[in-house]
Chain A
Amino acid sequence: MLFNSFQFLLFFPIVTIIYFLLPYKLRWVHLLVASCIFYMAFVPIYILILLATIIIDYIAGIMIENAEGRRRRAFLILSLVANIGVLVIFKYYNFFAININTLADASKAGFSIPLLKILLPIGLSFHTFQAMSYTLEVYRDNQKAERHFGIYALYVMFYPQLVAGPIERPQNLLDQFHAKHDFSYDNCRDGIRLMIWGFFKKIVIADRLAIIVNNVYNDPRHFNGVALTIATLFFAFQVYCDFSGYTDIARGAAKTMGYDLMLNFNRPFASKSVTEIWRRWHISLSTWFFDYLFNPLVASLRKWGRWAIVFGLLFTFFLSGLWHGANWKYIIWGSVYGVALVYEFLTKNFRKKIFSVLPPTVNKTISIFLTFSFFVLASVFFRGKSVKDALYIFAHLFKGWKSVCSVSGIKSVITAIGGNDTVYGSFNVVIGFLLIAFLEIIQFRTKDTSPENIVRNSSSIVKWSYYYFLIIAIFVIGAYDNQEFIYFQF
């Protein structure tokens, strides 16, 4: 079920109201059934995959806790193999098969691996990672194995974060399912505020920007550098609003019932380095990779000194790219980040010395600008339909800029962007830039507090005017062609 669908508009209040009407002991059953309904709105039969991994991880958790030494390790490996196995079969098998077949073709080896005709289960990478987090934390003695099967199943399936995160940790979430959550007006208010802000970011900003982005990126060869640049810039904000909007709705929906999900985005465009981006962007995934892959890997190789970190970064970000999708464009996208982090790590002291001659404000401004530019440019690989398209876009980003020197030139760019419709193109470009400006002003003003709370201390008139504005904007300037969330495909 999509958050931005009519079904969810009914589903959310019904589930939340019934949750509080039911006696405490039955609430986990209700949430589990609701989560199954939410998941089965996509491909119902795939619930069996979830069930299988839930059973394996539930048993593995208890066995890890009870076992010692090698047996303990064996049960952890069983759980990891089960989860990664499901990921490999459903997400990566065809990608590997296609690449092996291409190599076999090129070398005339005379064989080919058959491809599977399967749909990718929705949110697979998210819930398998959350499940692995559980067995890994039990193995590390940071979490007690969950004895209640229903509660464990709910930990994996909790509907707000089931299909696109945040990828929770058992230490944060499991205990919350055991706690009694009484109805709280404050939680409901805060949750709904967060959801409205999330819907605004998704339906009004992301889906509006997507119109231009899709037009240009579906056929980049028909556009000059100006159009490619506008579309690429718009995509950076689209993907941020799309994914962080999803997270806000997820966190808000959970909050109304008294559950606190972790922060997943913290103003990533305010980052002063590429390293900092990953402390602010998709935090639940980056911390997962750092805690369960990067740190153990670098710890085992620590005799290599700095080179252990270099290798760890390249490998981690290569896999992070692969996590996003079974496609070379994602692998390149992730690897580009790996290289950038290595560069920042190796030149940290040198850059500090060079930039220390600049006044702090200038230093900060330049750092934010360069970091944001890197994010925008790297996202060409993320959004481009293929590596070939992405390379074409890079080669043509700076071509055709003379067109902005004349009114007719600007008009032709706008017309092309709008799909041969000047009015539609102008409307979407102007609204797009205004929405980006609005988003940035709100985020700049709220700094590290939550943007949805910008009017929290204002008078009632300002407060309600602001929320009415957001809600009206969702209905009036929201783009409604039921766009899926970008991260659903992962």
Chain B
Amino acid sequence: METQEILTQMNSILSKVLRKKDIEVSVTTTASDVDGWDSLSHMIIIDSIEKHFGVKFKLNDIMRFNNMGDIVSNIQGKLSN
């Protein structure tokens, strides 16, 4: 799946979980750039992303996610296998 396509789907996941319209993320977006994406909602977002794309992240990978690009490339890696 193309990066842009994943990012577009990420926008709708985040909008749904955070109940906010007009969320637009890029590969460089971090949690602190998105209003409402705090340490408490983080794992709910991760869980929603996993369900949406039908993937399961490893615990160590989750701990290493620094920005949206890290999540996107992890998803791409899993989907290409």
Contacts and interface: CB of A to CB of B under 8 A. Distances in A.
A298 interface: yes
A345 B43 contact: no
B1 interface: no
Given A140-B64, A296-B59, A299-B63, A309 B47 contact: no
20 contacts: A140-B60, A140-B63, A275-B40, A290-B39, A294-B39, A295-B42, A295-B43, A295-B62, A296-B63, A298-B42, A299-B46, A299-B63, A302-B47, A302-B50, A303-B47, A305-B44, A306-B44, A309-B40, A309-B44, A349-B19
Interface residues of A, number: 20
Interface in B27-81: 39-40, 42-44, 46-47, 50, 59-60, 62-64
A105 interface: no
Contacts of A349: 19
A300 interface: yes
Given A296-B63, A309-B40, 12 more contacts: A140-B60, A140-B63, A142-B64, A290-B39, A295-B42, A295-B43, A295-B62, A295-B63, A298-B43, A302-B50, A305-B47, A306-B44
Contacts of B46: 299, 302
A349 B18 CA distance: 10
Contacts of B50: 302
A303 B50 CA distance: 10
A300 B59 CA distance: 7
A166 to B, nearest CB: 19
Contacts of A300: 59
Contacts, number: 39
Contacts of B43: 295, 298-299, 302, 308-309
A141 interface: yes
A290 B38 CA distance: 11
A479 B4 CA distance: 63
Contacts of B60: 140
A290 B31 CA distance: 15
B65 to A, nearest CB: 10
Task: Give the interface centre of A298, A302, A349 by most chain B CB atoms within 10 Å.
Answer: A302
A312 to B, nearest CB: 8
B32 to A, nearest CB: 11
Contacts of B44: 302, 305-306, 309
Contacts of B19: 349
A271 to B, nearest CB: 14
A272 to B, nearest CB: 14
A298 B46 CA distance: 11
Interface in A273-300: 275, 290, 294-296, 298-300
Nearest to B41: A309
A300 B44 CA distance: 12
A282 to B, nearest CB: 15
A458 to B, nearest CB: 33
A299 B39 contact: no
Interface string A395-433: 000000000000000000000000000000000000000
A299 B59 contact: yes
Contact of B40 (A142, A299, A302, A345): A345
Contacts of A313: 40
A223 to B, nearest CB: 39
Contacts of A303: 47
B62 A299 contact: yes
A294 B44 CA distance: 13
B80 to A, nearest CB: 23
A287 to B, nearest CB: 9
Contacts of A299: 43, 46, 59, 62-63
A385 to B, nearest CB: 34
Interface string A329-372: 00000000000000001000100000000000000000000000
Q: Which of B43, B60, B64 lies at the interface centre, i.e. has the most chain A CB atoms within 10 A of its CB?
A: B43
A277 B43 CA distance: 21
Contacts of B42: 295, 298
